[in-house]
Amino acid sequence: DGMNILFIVVDDLRPVLGCYGDKTVKSPNIDQLASQSMVFSNAYAQQAVCAPSRVSFLTGRRPDTTRLYDFYSYWRVHAGNYSTMPQYFKENGYMTLSVGKVFHPGVSSNYSDDFPYSWSIPPFHPSTEKYENDKTCRGKDGKLYANLVCPVDVTEMPSGTLPDMQSTEEAIRLLNVMKTKKQKFFLAVGYHKPHIPLRYPQEFLKLYPLENITLAPDPWVPEKLPSVAYNPWTDIRQRDDVKALNVSFPYGPLPDDFQRQIRQSYYAAVSYLDTQVGLLLNALDDVGLSNSTIVVFTADHGWSLGEHGEWAKYSNFDVATRVPLMFYVPGLTTSSVSEGEKIFPYLDPFSHGLGLVPQGQSNKVVELVSLFPTLAELAGLRVPPACPESSFHVALCTEGASIVRYFNASEEKVEEKNGCDDTCRC
Amino acid sequence: FNEEPVAFSQYPRPADAPQWNSDKPKLKDIRIMGYSMRTIDYRYTLWVGFNPNNFSADFEDVHAGELYMMETDPNQDYNIYNNTSHGSLLKKIL
């Protein structure tokens, strides 16, 4: 009778996580999920910008088929009436639910997150989302700004909360409703952080003392980088704190100290996100659904933290396209646990160190466009057929291949082959 | 199984040199598309002419190329596109 699906997608998260070998970031809850999951260490987005990447993996089509390279067209009108992954689950008896940022809002999802095609009920958006770009960051002078680096006192925020906190609350509420109704569900939860502005509860700064934060290993524009390949990080330049630095266009650079502040706040935002994921997974345990729910954790693309003299996404560099990708599948990636036993107890990043290793890992190169067929196969649904060369007229097909075959492959252990790579060090 | 896993990404640009809309060009302003092919060993990227009116990429019109070997250059800082022959990669990406 099919597993439930909890699909967690994070905005602009590169794999700076303990379970991907990062030695700086504290992400115990995501690492705990990884310890029960199949983790792909070489997963890539089809385009390193929000709407095109999301429409691509949610329809299982590449950008040249969705014909969305910017934010201003809706694929059903502009390219073809492609079925989406949630729509497919809905047509197969699932209650499909969207919380937070799953589709990119606006034109590219028809100002409706593609409801009612993709979702059973109107998608939930946190009420405080509208303040995201307001002047809510307190400067040294005590005034409020719209900064890039924005640690905040949450009690001072509009409604005394933040969008991702509201999303977690709503997702937990929906889990309880689904449990009560004994209804099979596909619940997609889209977290905003660490997308800019890097606005997060200021206490997370304590995890990352500035003196411990280094510059990127290669913070210069490479000599032989073609100028067309370089992204001039225009969006962060428009933030008040960056604007005040008056850096030259297009190559900057930003002052070293500010570069370290950005990296510090990105890490702090990741740990804040980790706590939200931890609360959500703890609730999955509490409602007794951990043994009957597949959990997918991924991101829409990465984010450059000063490598190659670049910031943000908007490029083909691995730091902008590589994403975390892991699948927790009860009975496949872990043996089912006894009733009542907790699989995902909440872990406090302030008191919990590293130490968790992925249950399974694959360094096979995979793509987000494979998510749709992979999840269909894991859920026991018919896998959508491969698309023909030109598929604008085909409603249901996929341009990615299912990667379930890599779950079982006796992965050549990286540490046996050529020493321990980053991932196995966690 | 024996097929080498490959990941394809792409990114649009309005011009060869960075300008204010380079990060997020509107469809009508896209003139170049960067197509990337990644395997465990390398990233090969071709920046080619793109026509936004008929969504066609012209692989005869190559504006620039990138090639990084992951084993020796994991951070992708040393573009060796211009000092290597890459006919086979061009064929593969096509």
Rounded to whole angstroms, the Cα distance separating A88 from A396 reads 9
What size, in residues, is chain A? 426
The parts of chain B modelled with pLDDT lower than 70 are 1-2
pLDDT over 60 at A54, yes or no? yes
Q: Which residue of B has its CA nearest to A219?
A: B77
Min Cα separation B48/chain A (Å): 10
Tell me what percent of the residues of chain A surpass a pLDDT of 90: 91
Are the Cβ atoms of A48 and B75 closer than 8 angstroms? no
Q: Which long-range contacts (CB under 8 A, 24 or more apart) does B31-36 make?
A: B32/A228, B32/B63, B33/A69, B33/B57, B34/A228, B34/A229, B34/A316, B34/B10, B35/B8, B35/B9, B35/B10, B35/B93, B36/A316, B36/A321, B36/B8, B36/B9, B36/B10, B36/B11, B36/B66
**Looking at beta carbons, which residues of chain A come within 8 Å of B32?**
228
Residues of A in contact with B16 (CB under 8 A): 226-228
- Per-residue pLDDT tens for A235-281? 999 999 999 999 999 999 999 999 999 999 999 999 999 999 999 99
What is the model's pLDDT at position A424?
A: 39
How close, in Å, is residue B93 to chain A by CA atoms?
Answer: 14
DSSP notation for A237-292: HTSHHHHTTTPPTTT-PPPHHHHHHHHHHHHHHHHHHHHHHHHHHHHHHHTT-GGG
Mean predicted confidence (pLDDT) in A158-174: 98
* Cβ-proximal residues to A117 (8 Å cutoff; 6+ apart), any chain: A76, A83, A84, A87
Residues of chain B positioned with their CB less than 8 A from the CB of A225 = 66, 79
Q: Which residue has the higher pLDDT, B26 or A355?
A: B26
Q: Answer whether B23 sits within 8 Å of A42, measured CB to CB.
A: no
Residue A416 confidence (pLDDT): 37
In this complex, the residue of A45, A218, A314 whose CB is nearest that of residue B24 is: A314
Q: Where are the beta strands (DSSP E) in A309-412?
A: 311-312, 322-328, 360-367
Q: Are strands A38-44 and A293-299 parallel, antiparallel or unpaired?
A: unpaired
Residues of chain A with Cβ-Cβ distance to B79 below 8 Å are 222, 224-226
Task: pLDDT band for A412, please (50, 70, 90 cuts).
Answer: very low
What count of Cα atoms within 13 Å lies in the side-chain half-sphere of residue A347?
19
CB atoms inside a 10 Å sphere around CB B93:
17
Percentage above 70 pLDDT, chain A = 94
Kind and range of the H or E run holding A201: strand A198-201
Distance from CA of B51 to the nearest CA of A (A): 12
Catalytic residues of A: 50, 104
Mutation pick from A40, A56, A70 vs chain B, by most beta carbons of B within 10 Å, is A70
Contact A284, A297 (CB under 8 A): no
Q: Which residues of A touch B65 (CB under 8 A)?
A: 226
Q: Mean pLDDT over all residues of chain A? A: 94
Looking from the CA of A13 toward its CB, the CA atoms found within 13 Å total 29
ipTM of the prediction: 0.96
pLDDT in tens, A360-390: 889 999 999 999 999 999 999 999 999 999 9
Q: Select from A51, A13, A10, A23 the least CA-distant residue to A305.
A: A13
Angle between helices A371-378 and A50-59 (to 10 degrees): 40
Q: Which residues contact A97 (CB under 8 A, 6 or more apart)?
A: A119, A120, A121, A123, A124, A174, A185, A186, A187, A188
Question: Could you give the 3-state DSSP secondary structure of residue A127?
Answer: helix
Taking a C-beta distance cutoff of 8 angstroms, is the pair A399, A387 a contact?
Answer: yes
With 90 as the cut, is the pLDDT of residue A75 above it? Answer: yes
The Cα-based distances of A174 to A3, A8, A179, A343 in angstroms read: 16, 14, 8, 20
CB contact under 8 A, A71 and B24: yes
The band of A420, judged by pLDDT with boundaries at 50, 70 and 90, is very low
Which whole-number Å values give the CA distances from A148 to A110, A194, A195, A251, A267, in the listed order?
29, 11, 10, 18, 14
pLDDT at A419: 41
CB contact under 8 A, B64 and A366: no
In A3-57, beta strands by DSSP E: 4-10, 38-44
Instruction: Spell out which residues of chain B touch residue A64, defining contact as CB-CB under 8 Å.
Output: 10, 55, 57
Nearest C-alpha of chain A: how many angstroms from B74? Answer: 9
B7/A366 CB distance under 8 A: yes
Q: Look at A69 and B22 and tell me if their CB atoms are within 8 Å.
A: no
Q: Which DSSP state fits A334?
A: B
A72-76 average pLDDT score: 98
Question: Among candidates A230, A263, A53, which has minimal Cα distance to A148?
Answer: A263
Q: Among A70, A227, A233, select the one facing B16 at the smallest CB separation.
A: A227
Structure tokens at B17: 């040199």
A82: pLDDT strictly greater than 70: yes
Closest listed residue to residue A176, CA positions, set A62, A320, A284:
A284
pLDDT tens, A198-240? 999 999 999 999 999 999 999 999 999 999 999 999 999 999 9
pLDDT of residue A411: 52
d(CA B82, CA B94): 19
Nearest to B81 by CA among A403, A226, A43: A226
Pick from A9-18, A107-116, A291-300, A345-354: least confident: A345-354
**Residue A294 to residues A32, A74, A209, A411, B59: CA-CA distances in angstroms?**
15, 29, 36, 21, 41
